[in-house]
Chain A
Amino acid sequence: MSIKGQAYIVGAWEHPTRKAPDKSVAELHAECARGALQDAGLGKHDVDGYFCAGDAPGMGPLNMVDYMNLRVRHVDSTDIGGSSYIALVAHATQAIMAGKCNVALITLAGRPRSEGQHTGTAVRVVNPAVPDSVWEASFTPNTANLYAMCAMRHMHEYGTTSEQLAWIKVAASHHAQYNPHAMLRDVVTVEDVVNSPMVADPLHRLDCCVISDGGGALIVTRPDIARGLKRPLVRVMGAGEAVKGQMGGDVDLTYSAAKWSGPAAFAEAGVTPADIKYASIYDSFTITVLMQLEDLGFCPKGRGGAFVSDGNLISGVGKLPFNTDGGGLCNNHPANRGGITKVIEAVRQLRGEAHPKVQVPNCDVALAHGTGGLLGSRHGGATLIMERE
């Protein structure tokens, strides 16, 4: 059974804060929930399904359901890192199809910036019950060097260059200049990126995403309820999810879980990469974008460097406008998890509500893809294809 057309995204709201030292994580979640419901034209009491992931404080959905005092008959706290919220749109659609809920609320929020987290380079906490950590923690892998090893291997196999990766940041910065909420609004050049300090070879500081506070929320509902609301209709067309790790030691850092989740989503939606007018592509680092674009089929494997160069990702300039809010690279990476903002900007584009300077003309089909966890060790991938009705 396909999820195609079986549910609509009727509410999408991104918290405007990027630094919230005076708000709790729970408060941010609740503010996002309120914002998305107001955007949809629905009320708190309409929510009968709640979806969250690891950023929600407490035990799965329990504490946030109680904090917001929701009366729900379906919950799901699937945690595949920053890609969770993209997968949760599909899970919400499945629950709606099965009659388990009518109005699904998905929230994300966090404040790593206020808490002073060094997300990319912090030593990761070891729990000996996590089987891989026993064998890996001694070597102090961190977020930055695990992604960097993917970039190093990609450069080795395909000749990808730092300048090509830099184009991804350049494109994001061109979009962020129009977003008043973006953390980094200055347009940068390829030279700015490759001359920024090295964090973990070959990734420079400007190859990395921002560390920001904030959050977002989505409302997914039944087709008949969506048609009774006043918002432009954005329907779910197809989805895929996958987990990729070290495969028993058959490590291959040249591709991501998008290689599996992407084709599943395209097949379900009945479209191809050529049909996608706008793409939200998870951008924890520039290399993340490049690998996902290849794996999703926007260009052949190994050709990502050429594909992203010369402004090809810049709205109004290139063939594939991406992350027109500025993405995680320049706008926002709330809770160190960018999945929900990927869906929110795709919904803005499909509604025609993106900033006029970055709005894609006649944007009828869009894709959001996320990578959660750590690309260089083990990660989740989730792909979602949406259509304006």
Chain B
Amino acid sequence: MTDRKLAAIPETTDSAEFLAGAREGRLLIRRCTACHKPHWYPRPVCPFCFGNTEWEAASGEGVIYSFSIQRKPAAYAMAYVTLAEGPTMMTNIVGCDFDALRIGQKVKVAFSEAEGGGMVPTFTPLP
């Protein structure tokens, strides 16, 4: 299965450190220093308690929460993956037979190189 090239995540004040981590193969998420809950997508102000948040490395493992295969023009697998740390993130599932995907399947992060450089956090099924 040839995967399509994804657009890069734009570098903003909120994403710069994440993108640096992604280049090193690390999936960074943010956790609140007040309520200690991690969240997604990353924000400096906690979406649960308005406390301050900081980056941490996630395990990169998770399970497929839901997905949908778009067939045209180039097939791709849109998905939500629930990380081992708790938050559920929007992503694509890559490097697999789309017809074999199922909810609850274990996946791990597989950074895909984006158009024009940069890495995008996609996921691939664990064997």
Task: Give residues in A with beta carbon < 8 Å to B.
Answer: 121, 126, 128, 131-132, 134-142, 144-146, 148-150, 152-153, 156, 198-203, 246-251, 253, 377
Contact = CB atoms under 8 A, between A and B. Distances in A.
Given A131-B41, A132-B41, A253-B80, A152 B68 contact: yes
B125 interface: no
A251 B10 contact: no
Nearest to A140: B76
B15 A137 contact: no
Contacts of B37: 248
Contacts of B9: 134-135, 138
A247 B8 CA distance: 25
A249 B38 contact: yes
Contact of A139 (B12, B69, B82, B91): B91
15 contacts: A131-B41, A132-B41, A134-B9, A138-B7, A141-B90, A149-B79, A152-B66, A153-B66, A153-B103, A156-B104, A200-B68, A248-B37, A251-B80, A253-B66, A377-B90
B67 interface: yes
Contacts of A140: 6-7, 70, 76, 78
A253 B42 CA distance: 20
B107 interface: no
B78 A248 contact: no
Interface string B98-122: 0000011000000000100000101
B47 interface: yes
Given A126-B10, A138-B7, A253-B66, 18 more contacts: A121-B70, A128-B12, A134-B15, A138-B120, A139-B78, A139-B120, A139-B122, A145-B68, A145-B70, A149-B67, A153-B103, A200-B69, A200-B71, A248-B87, A249-B38, A250-B87, A251-B80, A251-B88
A141 B78 contact: yes
A139 B14 contact: no
A249 B70 CA distance: 23
A249 B66 contact: no
What are the 3 tightest A-B residue pairs by CB atom distance, in nearest-first order?
Answer: A249-B87, A148-B68, A248-B47
Contacts of B7: 126, 137-138, 140
Interface of B: 6-10, 12, 14-15, 37-43, 47-48, 65-72, 76, 78-80, 82, 86-92, 103-104, 114, 120, 122
B10 A134 contact: yes
B6 A139 contact: yes
B8 to A, nearest CB: 7
A140 B88 CA distance: 17
B123 to A, nearest CB: 11
Contacts of B122: 139
Given A248-B48, A249-B38, A249-B39, A135 B90 contact: yes
A250 B46 CA distance: 13
A247 B43 CA distance: 13
Nearest to B47: A248
Contacts of B88: 246, 249-251
Given A134-B10, A139-B6, A253-B80, A156 B70 contact: no
Q: Of residues A126, A131, A132, which shows the largest number of chain B Cβ atoms within 10 Å of its Cβ?
A: A131
B70 A144 contact: yes
B88 to A, nearest CB: 4
